[in-house]
């Protein structure tokens, strides 16, 4: 994932962009950058976050951005950004939240037009530079953004900083959010609405799918109207989103409470001593479960946050496993001879959950009941950089299905049988997982209950990773 923040103001806005971008740190751990236009020139800075935090990397550089009144920032889990480019459209800076599945095809097209690429990310073409060059294919910034939206397979939301405005362009199907805020000095746009409050901005609206606006200190002008088909990622409410964030008017934490309450209704008659959430994203779901079930909520796991980053993010599996092991500390005061129900947001690769169960058993837990706040992840994400890896079988559910079927060559219709919570194959799969993970019981949230907890129509949500239902055209 990635997240960005942009600001246009009648006064200096460097601090707002700095802190606004920092409020997106939970969305990426690899690269970060900021770009400003100071009235005469573009000023850019990019740093790696793999051995430090955003604030530490950029705070000492703030004076070089001067009294700039327009700027963008981004925290990325992939390529270095922002990209600054000079074309027939003038000079501009681009930040993206994107996954481009047809990167090779688009790169070939540009190279055949005798264009060249200057930026590399891990020896690969930089996706944001590709977007910046595609914008340059249009006769105007508007046409260039339209060309990007029509050309990319996957998803792409972007901010384009020019010498007169910021263009905010949401992905064609709205898979990732862009939210507008304002104060008496100007406007901001961001991936996370929770970045607004402490900076003194109030919510204006969410951009619609495919919508493009031009944002200046004096106001917002629609450049391209919103489309009518929306597929915002449901995982924003399950895992990615910060608890205080709103997407499409739906608060993340409130949705998680409802989701946890729905899971509690599946468990009438279960005997428990307390409920717990795997920190951090499992906590909201677990509180909702606890309140509905009228069973105490306790913390047998605490997360050591000062130095350990999110374990989902490192690209190296060995490092992911190490971080997952080190960051959660068991509290044996609440574990010995207890019947505990845990809620986790999801099972992606399965390694973290298994390690956590072993810790709990070593700490004397009597029964370990596990509830997962979403259905099994069966179909790898095609639209965001979530659950991506070199092999689809890095997904725990895929590996279990492969072992059950005894082959790698599994038709899609067979996967759909496993996705159906009422099918014998699904129930057998969950039992295999339960035994492998050494759990007393294991249940996954049903898709219809997850959708209901979000509160948006199913057709407006991307649920591809659970039911393979999303669309690309």
Residue 317 has what pLDDT?
56
Does residue 348 sit in helix, strand or coil? Answer: coil
C-alpha closest to that of 396 among 422, 413, 414, 372 = 372
* pLDDT score for 471: 80
Note the pLDDT of residue 310: 46
Looking at residue 92, what DSSP letter applies? E
CB atoms within 10 A of CB 119: 17
Instruction: Give the Cα separation of 306 and 249 in Å (integer).
Output: 32
Q: How far apart are CA 220 and CA 234, in angstroms?
A: 28
pLDDT at position 312:
40
Model-wide pTM > 0.85: yes
CB 252 within 8 A of CB 259: no
What distance in Å separates the CA atoms of residue 212 and residue 94, rounded to the nearest whole number? 14
β-bridge partners, 368: 340
Closest-CA residue to 116 (of 101, 138, 96, 132)? 132
Per DSSP, the three-state class of 189 is strand
Nearest partner of 448 among 457, 440, 439, judged by Cα: 457
| Partner residues linked to 94 by β-bridges | 83, 160
CB 46 within 8 A of CB 5: no
- The strand ranges marked E within 114-231 are 120-121, 124-125, 154-161, 166-169, 179-182, 186-190, 202-206, 212-216, 219-224
Q: Quote the CA–CA distance of 256 and 251 in Å, as a whole number.
A: 9
What phi and psi values does residue 100 have, to the nearest 5 degrees? -110, 105
* Rounded Cα distance, 42 and 65, in Å: 9
Q: What is the CA radius of gyration of the chain?
A: 23
Query: Using CA atoms, how far apart are residues 95 and 283, in angstroms rounded to an integer?
Result: 32
For residue 205, the Cα-to-chain-centroid distance in whole angstroms is: 20
What confidence score (pLDDT) does residue 392 get? 84
- Structure confidence by residue, pLDDT tens digits, 24-43: 999 988 899 999 999 999 99
pLDDT of residue 311: 41
Tell me the domains of the chain and their CATH numbers.
2-229 (3.60.20.10), 247-467 (3.40.50.2020)
- With beta carbons less than 8 A apart as the criterion, state whether 122 and 173 touch: no
- What whole-number distance in Å separates Cα of residue 75 and Cα of residue 34? 9
The pLDDT assigned to 470 comes to: 85
DSSP state letters, 318-329? HHHHHHHHHHEE
Contacts of 407 (CB under 8 A, 6+ apart): none
Spans of the chain below 70 pLDDT:
120-123, 305-326, 386-390
Tokens of 114: 């005798």
Task: Return the axis-axis angle of helices 396-405 and 412-419, rounded to nearest 10°.
Answer: 110
Torsion sign (Cα): 444, 449, 453, 456: positive
Strand partners, 95: 159
d(C-alpha 218, C-alpha 359), whole Å? 56
* Pairing verdict, β 186-190 and 2-9: antiparallel
The pLDDT value given to residue 393: 83
What pLDDT is recorded for position 279? 86
| Angle 413-417-418 from CA coordinates, rounded to 5° | 120
Q: 336 vs 296, 301, 363, 367, CA distance in Å?
A: 16, 13, 6, 10
Closest CA to 34 of 159, 129, 142, 135: 159
């Amino acid at each position: 994932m990635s997240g960005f923040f942009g600001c246009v103001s009648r006064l200096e806005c460097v601090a707002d962009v700095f802190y606004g971008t920092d409020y997106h740190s939970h969305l990426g751990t690899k690269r970060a950058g900021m770009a400003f236009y100071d009235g005469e020139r573009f000023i850019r800075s990019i740093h790696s976050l793999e051995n430090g935090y955003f604030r530490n990397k950029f705070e000492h550089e703030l004076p070089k951005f001067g009294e700039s009144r327009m700027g963008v920032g981004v925290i990325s889990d992939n390529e270095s950004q922002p990209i600054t480019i000079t074309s027939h459209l003038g000079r501009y800076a681009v930040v993206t939240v994107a996954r481009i599945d047809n990167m090779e095809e688009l790169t070939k097209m540009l190279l055949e037009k005798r264009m060249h690429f200057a930026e590399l990310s891990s020896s690969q073409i930089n996706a944001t530079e590709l977007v910046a060059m595609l914008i340059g294919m249009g006769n105007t910034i508007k046409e260039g953004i339209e060309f990007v939206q029509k050309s990319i397979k996957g998803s792409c939301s972007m901010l384009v900083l020019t010498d007169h405005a910021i263009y905010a362009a949401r992905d064609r199907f709205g898979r990732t959010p862009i939210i507008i805020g304002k104060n008496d000095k100007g406007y901001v746009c961001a991936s996370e609405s929770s970045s607004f409050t402490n900076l003194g901005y109030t919510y204006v609206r969410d951009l619609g799918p495919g919508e493009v606006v031009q944002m200046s200190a004096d106001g917002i002008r629609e450049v391209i109207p919103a489309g009518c088909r929306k597929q915002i990622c449901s995982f924003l409410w399950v895992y990615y989103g910060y608890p205080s964030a709103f997407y499409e008017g739906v608060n993340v934490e409130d949705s998680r409470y409802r989701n946890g309450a729905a899971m509690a209704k599946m468990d009438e008659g279960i005997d428990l001593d307390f409920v717990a959430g795997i920190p951090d994203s499992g906590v909201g779901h677990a509180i909702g479960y606890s309140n509905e079930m009228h069973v105490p909520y306790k913390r047998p796991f605490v997360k050591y946050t000062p130095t350990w980053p999110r374990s989902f993010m490192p690209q190296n599996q060995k490092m992911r496993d190490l971080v997952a092991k080190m960051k959660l500390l068991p509290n044996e005061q609440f574990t010995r001879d207890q019947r505990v129900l845990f809620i986790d947001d999801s099972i992606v690769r399965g390694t973290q959950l298994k390690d956590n169960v072993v810790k709990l058993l070593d700490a004397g837990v009597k029964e370990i009941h596990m509830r997962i706040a979403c259905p099994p992840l069966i179909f790898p994400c095609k639209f965001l950089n979530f659950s991506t890896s070199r092999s689809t079988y890095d997904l725990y559910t895929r590996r279990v299905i492969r072992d059950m079927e005894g082959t790698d060559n599994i038709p899609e219709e067979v996967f759909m049988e496993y996705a159906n919570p009422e099918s014998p194959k699904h129930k057998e799969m969950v039992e295999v997982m339960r035994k492998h993970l050494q759990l007393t019981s294991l249940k996954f949230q049903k898709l219809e209950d997850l959708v209901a907890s979000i509160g948006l129509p199913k057709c407006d949500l991307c649920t591809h990773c659970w039911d393979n239902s999303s669309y690309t055209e």
